[in-house]
Amino acid sequence: MSVGLVHDPIYQEHDTGPHVESPSRLKRTEEHLRETGMLEKLVDIRPRAAAVEELTTIHSPGYVTYVEDFARRDGGWLDPDTVVSPASYNVALCAAGGLLEAVDAVMEGQVSSAFAAMRPPGHHATRWEAMGFCIFNNIAVAAMHATDTHELERVLIADFDVHHGNGTQDAFYQNPHVMYFSTHQYPFYPGTGRVEESGEGAGAGTTLNVPLPAYCGDDQYLRVFDEILVPAAERFKPQLILVSAGYDAHWADSISMMQVSTTGYAGMVRALKGLADGLCGGKMVFTLEGGYNLDALASSIKATLDVLLDADSIDDPLGPPAAARGAPDIDNLLQAVKKTHQLD
């Protein structure tokens, strides 16, 4: 059992100033992994810059060129949420390329699974534009790499960020080779991710959205994984699982209104690991998306790595929410998803 970790000082060079998506996210996480002895248990995976030809499997050539030129002209705001500094284009290339290296390491048997601790995140970026702190859609580029380079016929992308990964959904909405599954707070940014958004054409049925109401916690999320993701994945039979790992549904994260704990995230990762072990020889790669409370982020990433390493237990230093609100009833939502995707 070996787990790889993509991390590198270059990811600190994406300078966003006082923005919530800041270098401190990775600094605090790496400090925590070092202090707890986790770093020495992991296999180092060094990133590389993705080639333009790899990015353009997802993004338009004009968009890639625009980002490069924008950064060269000292950067600024690519959209109302997304900051670019002069170094950001090269950092974003290494974010996408770091994830490609992780996929290669897993597919070639160098490690059993991997986690890419990098920034900027990616799942909102569309073919033509940046969105929601994201410049290039790292996980979408990685999925195309898996199908094109490694000739996989079925890749599952599971996204547990609190925001819907609209860019990832768009990339594969008509693609039968990539299943996209998302749990997200709804209604919420970016406004997509309804149950009825389920793919079209050859990709009909391969997009599964579970738009959760605010104040859902561990029990609701784990129910979704058990009742929706597990049977859908078992039917799809992926050869590789990619995970958009956003930790911003944590109760301590002020960006959302969810009540997930570090223990809850560990439960989701266990469910994903069970699927990977049973369906695709354990082949699974996580990439960091959201998560903005530094302590919650660091502890949740460590818990994720503990589960991947088959640790007997995980640490949850923040515990459950101190004043949890009553969790909403999601019975009708789950029934709607099951009906849409014939999971009954």
Report percent pLDDT > 70 for the chain: 100
pTM of the model: 0.98
Catalytic site residues? 124
Please identify, in words, the CATH class of the domain defined by 3-341: alpha beta
Q: How many Å apart are CA 23 and CA 17, to the nearest integer?
A: 9
Question: Do 137 and 126 form a contact (C-beta atoms < 8 A)?
Answer: yes
Residue 1 has a pLDDT of 79
State pLDDT tens for residues 192-236: 999 999 999 999 999 999 999 999 999 999 999 999 999 999 999
State pLDDT tens for residues 284-316: 999 999 999 999 999 999 999 999 999 999 999
State pLDDT tens for residues 102-123: 999 999 999 999 999 999 999 9
DSSP symbols for 269-328: HHHHHHHHHHHSTT-EEEEE----SHHHHHHHHHHHHHHHTT-S----TT-S-TTPPPPP
Q: Which of 150, 145, 146, 125 is nearest to 137 (CA)?
A: 125
Residue 41 has a pLDDT of 98
